[in-house]
Every structure is written in structure tokens, then in C-alpha cells.
């Protein structure tokens, strides 16, 4: 081949690369291989080819918006005080009280069966989805595919993706209805697919488990989750407290557990200045990021709330909202 021929081939190759965008082609090729392996693994887990074709056929690349949302979660980017203040608003408190009245019968049944105080169920409902108004519109399967393909928490979301495919395959929720948050959480209580498998129940007795459309099913499933996670119905979650100054802040954190009598001896008091309860309870001290911010003594139920969402801010918000329903207006 002449030198002109070689230059022509080189120029043609460069033009082709620029036209196609070589770096952009690499990710789809890698994604396609990853998706092919997912199909193999999902099939080995018992998921039908029909479900896999319907759920995965149109996916050509991960959704970058989902990855961006995962990297900017408010529990990680917002201070504890700001997180709680934003979520425990007067409007949310008022609506929670309304829900306690509207669903009094169902909440009473669920509370008796699962031994979880109804105010905590309603508070979880409020924090997770504003009482069902904001459950998310992301198709769950594509969202989980995007997160599973991402390397940061890929293994976790891959397991959730397999569980979501099983939910569709078993006919619990149709693919068209399977919508939720960018993280794949579904329904009024934002259940992840694995939580559906472990804790979702038929609360209204109609023979179906419908956590998306049935409030009784959603309430009972949330209560079942907390009960199996170790909820104590004779305890609250914790309480805001005041501390003497100076105070050894090294005592703060969930790794330190002391009886209430010991915290009392250290000068910790209720937020109104009263003595701590005279109960044989172990408690930990949670401090806001700001040295002058809020402080809380938290009990075992706080740890149970963290099994739902591993965030101190989330658990404090749920507990604070639950307490607010009982306060005088």
C-alpha cells in the first residue's frame, strides 16, 4: 500500500472515531456485557425469560441522573438540625394527626397485632413519603440496574435488582406499576425489594400483598418490619436533652451505652430541665454537628429505626415527628 493509501486509512479511522465518539462507545459495550451476565445470574435465580425480556430488553445504558442522586443523599449532605427541622414541619405534624384519626381502626389493629405504637408508623409514613403523596415515579428496574452497574455499591443494588425481578416474576407487582424512588424503594413506606420479600404482609386479608395501593397492607408491612427488627412497644425512641457545660463530648455516639441513672449523674437532663426517667434503660448520646446544636439520649428503638435507614438524622426525625403528634396544639 502506498503512503497515500495509509494516510487515507488513518484519516478515515480518525473521522470514524470522532463521528462515533470512541470513549462513549466503551461504556455501552461494557454495560451490554454486564447486562448479559445479569440475565444469566437472574435466570439461575429462577426468574423466567419472559420477565427478563420485558424488564431488560430496552436498557442500553445506565441512567446518570440516578447515580447523581445517590451521591447527593440529604442524610449525608444536610446537618442533623436542618434535616429534622425541614421534615418535622407544622404541615406534616397536622397531616399526621389527621392520618391517625382517618385510619384509627386499621392502625389500632396493626398496633395490637405487631405491638408497634401507631404514632411511630404514621411518623415513618410521613418522613418516607409525606403520607403517600411522594412515593417516586422512577421505574424501579432501570433505577436498580443503574445503581447495580455503578461500582460504589454495586453488589448491594444487584441483590436488590434480583429481588425486584422476582417480585415481578411472581406476579406481586406488575412491571408497569413497579415505580418508586431513584434508589428502587417502593410505596408509602419506601420498601426496598428485599424488605418486600422479608416483611411485606397482607394487612387487609384480601389474599394479595399490595404495599403500593393498600394502606392496610402498607401499615401492617411496616409494623412487621419494626417488630422483627426488635421493636419494644413499652419504650419510646429517645428524647431531646440538655447537657451541663463543659461536657465530655467523647461520651457521644452509639458505641457508648450507659444506664439513664449514669447520664443523670453526669448532669444530663430532659429538654425542659426535669430529671431523666427512673427506668433501667441503656441509652446513648447523639449530638448535632454544631457544638451548640441539639442533643438526644436514644434507646433501643432508635437503633431499630436505624435498621430501616442507617442515618441518625432519619431516626431522630421519625422519633421527633412521632412525639409531635402527642404534644398540645
The verdict on residue 100 lying in a domain is: no
Domain presence at residue 46? yes
Looking at the domain assignment, is residue 263 inside a domain?
yes
What DSSP letter does each residue of 73-88 carry, written as one string? Answer: -HHHHS-HHHHHHHHS
Q: Which of 201, 229, 238, 228 is nearest to 216 (CA)?
A: 201
- The percent helix, strand, coil of the chain (3-state, each to 5) is 55, 10, 35
Q: Is 271 found in the same domain as 149?
A: no
Residues 164 and 269 in one domain: no
The answer on 159 and 32 residing in a single domain is yes
Whether residue 136 lies inside any domain: the answer is no
- Tell whether 34 and 170 lie within a shared domain: yes
Give the C-alpha separation, 287 to 231, whole Å: 23
34 and 171 part of one domain: yes
Would 168 be classed as within a structural domain? yes
Q: Are residues 31 and 176 in the same domain?
A: yes
CA–CA separation, 170 and 198 (whole Å): 15
**Same domain, residue pair 172 and 36:** yes
Q: What element of type H or E holds 241?
A: strand 238-242
Q: Is residue 122 part of a domain?
A: no
Determine, yes or no, domain membership for 156.
Answer: yes
Whose CA is closest to 233, among 90, 118, 67?
Answer: 118
Number of domains, the chain: 2
Q: What is the pLDDT along the chain (329 residues), one digit of tens a residue?
A: 454 444 443 443 334 334 344 344 455 789 999 999 999 999 999 999 999 999 998 898 988 888 787 776 665 668 899 999 999 999 999 999 999 999 999 999 999 999 999 999 999 999 999 999 999 999 999 999 999 998 778 899 999 999 999 999 999 999 999 999 999 999 999 999 999 999 999 999 999 999 999 999 999 999 999 999 999 999 999 999 999 988 898 999 999 999 999 999 999 999 999 999 999 999 999 998 876 779 999 999 999 999 999 999 999 999 999 999 997 65
Residues 48 and 148 in one domain: yes
Residues 56 and 149 in one domain: yes
Helix residue spans in 103-214 (DSSP H)? 104-114, 118-129, 140-149, 154-169, 193-199
Q: Which domain covers residue 47, as residue numbers?
A: 26-61+144-184
287 lies in some domain? yes
Q: First CA to last CA across the chain, in angstroms?
A: 90
Amino acid at each position: 500500500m502506498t503512503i497515500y493509501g495509509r494516510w487515507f486509512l488513518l484519516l478515515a479511522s480518525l473521522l470514524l472515531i470522532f463521528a462515533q465518539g470512541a470513549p462513549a462507545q466503551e461504556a455501552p459495550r461494557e454495560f451490554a456485557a454486564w447486562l448479559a451476565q445479569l440475565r444469566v445470574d437472574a435466570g439461575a435465580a429462577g426468574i423466567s425469560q419472559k420477565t427478563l425480556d420485558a424488564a431488560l430488553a430496552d436498557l442500553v445504558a445506565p441512567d446518570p441522573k440516578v447515580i447523581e442522586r445517590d451521591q447527593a443523599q440529604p442524610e449525608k449532605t444536610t446537618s442533623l438540625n436542618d434535616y429534622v427541622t425541614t421534615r418535622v414541619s407544622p404541615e406534616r405534624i397536622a397531616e399526621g394527626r389527621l392520618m391517625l384519626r382517618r385510619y384509627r381502626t386499621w392502625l389500632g389493629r396493626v398496633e395490637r397485632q405487631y405491638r408497634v405504637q401507631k404514632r411511630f408508623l404514621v411518623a415513618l409514613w410521613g418522613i418516607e413519603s409525606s403520607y403517600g403523596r411522594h412515593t417516586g415515579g422512577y421505574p424501579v428496574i432501570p433505577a436498580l440496574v443503574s445503581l447495580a452497574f455503578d461500582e460504589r455499591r454495586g453488589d448491594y443494588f444487584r441483590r436488590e435488582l434480583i429481588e425486584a425481578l422476582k417480585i415481578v416474576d411472581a406476579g406481586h407487582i406488575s412491571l408497569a406499576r413497579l415505580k418508586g424512588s431513584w434508589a428502587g424503594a417502593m410505596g408509602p413506606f419506601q420498601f426496598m425489594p428485599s424488605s418486600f420479600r422479608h416483611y411485606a404482609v397482607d394487612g387487609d386479608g384480601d389474599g394479595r400483598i399490595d404495599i403500593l395501593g393498600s394502606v392496610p397492607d402498607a401499615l401492617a408491612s411496616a409494623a412487621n418490619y419494626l417488630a422483627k427488627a426488635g421493636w419494644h412497644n413499652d419504650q419510646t425512641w429517645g428524647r431531646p436533652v440538655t447537657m451541663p457545660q463543659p461536657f465530655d463530648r467523647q461520651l457521644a455516639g452509639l458505641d457508648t451505652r450507659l444506664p439513664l441513672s449514669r447520664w443523670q449523674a453526669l448532669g444530663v437532663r430532659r429538654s425542659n430541665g426535669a430529671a431523666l426517667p427512673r427506668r433501667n434503660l441503656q441509652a446513648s448520646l447523639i449530638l448535632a454537628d454544631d457544638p451548640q446544636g441539639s442533643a438526644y439520649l436514644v434507646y433501643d428503638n432508635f437503633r431499630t429505626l436505624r435498621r430501616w435507614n442507617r442515618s441518625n438524622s432519619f431516626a431522630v426525625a421519625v422519633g421527633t415527628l412521632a412525639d409531635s403528634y402527642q404534644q398540645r396544639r
